[in-house]
Amino acid sequence: MPEYPNPYEPCGPVRTADMFFGRKNELAEIADFLRGDQSVSLVGPSKIGKTSLLFHLMRPAFAEELRLGPGRLVCYLDCQGVGEESPPEVFRKIAAGLIAEMESHGLPEQAELRKACISPSRLAFESAIRVLNRCGLRIVIILDAFEQLGANSRLDVQFFNALRSMAGRFQLSYLTASVRPLIALTYSGRSREIHSSPFFNIFATLTLGLLPEADARDLIRTPAQRSGRPFPPDLEISLLQLGGGHPLILQTACFHAWEHPEDRNGMEERTTGELQPYFEYIWRELTEAEKRILLRADGAPVPSSPSGSEAAVLRGLEQKCLLLPSHGKYTYPAQVWANFLARQSR
């Protein structure tokens, strides 16, 4: 067993400020938009760190650093928990989140906000937002896993129109996080009607991708150094090759490297085994054309004039962080992902 507690977080979003690395430019850009009450759509593939970024943005010390507080109240809603809730219940959950935020900041309770929880409705929620604005509070509503909200069969176009109306009439903005851009969601089945709402036209889009190499090295090195048992330089290099700039892969690989620093092969096997379900999910979600092109893309030249259907697939694979252009050629962004793909081609 290791002498020191393992500092790495291989499962779920990062929940402590000292384990969040990089994303400075993205956070600064989001803050610039929110300061002007501009709604933002954060887009990035599954497990790339969108929720970790949202949690970091909500931390009081960091919000102050970005000049988002103290006159701004941020409410977080995981839309996976409102899959089939009615509009009043969605408004109630947001109101409850705002109450919790006010309590955490030591702000006095507002009766209108409490009413919006007891007897939830659009009008009750709007009254509460109006009161909060009059108290000098600007509201940011974070809607994580936003696709689930758009897929809710009980939420019609009037619900989303109401959200849009509130953003126009109050000091209120939204920050959504989704795998696909909001514009792409408008062409999927039932959501075509839902996404015809002007609500989906008020967003600035920001894409979250792989970590730059400097931030990836920081994620590998800093927790181990801080905990009193730094990784050897050659192990740091191995971890960077294994995980590339993918924060989940890096956290997982570092976790197992910390547990078994002398067993390099075992570390890679444990990392691969833990990530297998995630990679299988990604693979299932790909089209046959994407699979075919992805399997033969490693080392292929990046098209100088990207056009046509194959070029469009390659761009999509880049956006999903499954393929990385480097020095004019494509490569797989992480060795553990390359190993998974090699098994699919057998």
Residue type, 203: F
Is the same domain home to 194 and 308?
Answer: no
Q: Packing angle between helix 111-118 and helix 87-104, nearest 10 degrees?
A: 140
143 has which bridge partners?
77, 176
**Strand partners for 74:** 140
Domain end point (choices 207, 236, 254) = 207
Last residue of a domain, one of 186, 207, 228: 207
Averaged pLDDT in 10-residue chunks for the chain of 346 residues: 77 89 94 92 96 92 76 91 91 96 90 96 97 94 92 87 94 95 63 66 94 97 94 95 96 94 89 95 95 93 77 91 93 95 86
Report how many domains make up the chain: 2
User: Rounded distance, CA 309 to CA 332, Å?
Assistant: 20
Instruction: Provide the residue type at 225 as one letter.
Output: Q
User: CA–CA separation, 13 vs 23, rounded Å?
Assistant: 14
Regarding whether 174 and 88 lie in a shared domain, the answer is yes
In terms of residues, how long is the chain? 346
Residues 111 and 198 in one domain: yes
Residue 11 lies in a domain: no
Same domain flag for 198 and 229: no
- Per-residue pLDDT, 67: 76
- The verdict on residue 12 lying in a domain is no
Boundary of a domain, candidates 192, 207, 222? 207
* 247 in the same domain as 180: no
pTM of full prediction above 0.85: yes
* pLDDT for the residue 296: 93
| Residue given tokens 């000049």 in the structure block | 67
- Identity of residue 150: G
Give the model's pLDDT for residue 28.
Answer: 92
Residues 217 and 203 occupy one common structural domain: no
Q: Which two tokens stand for residue 337?
A: 């992902």
- Domain assignment of residue 3, yes or no: no
186 within a domain of the structure (yes/no): yes
**Domain shared by 201 and 237, yes or no:** no
Give the residue among 162, 149, 105, 98 at the shortest CA–CA distance from 128: 98
Domain that residue 41 falls in: 23-207
Contact assessment for residue 148 and residue 78, using Cβ atoms and an 8 Å cutoff: no
- Say what the pLDDT of residue 345 is: 77
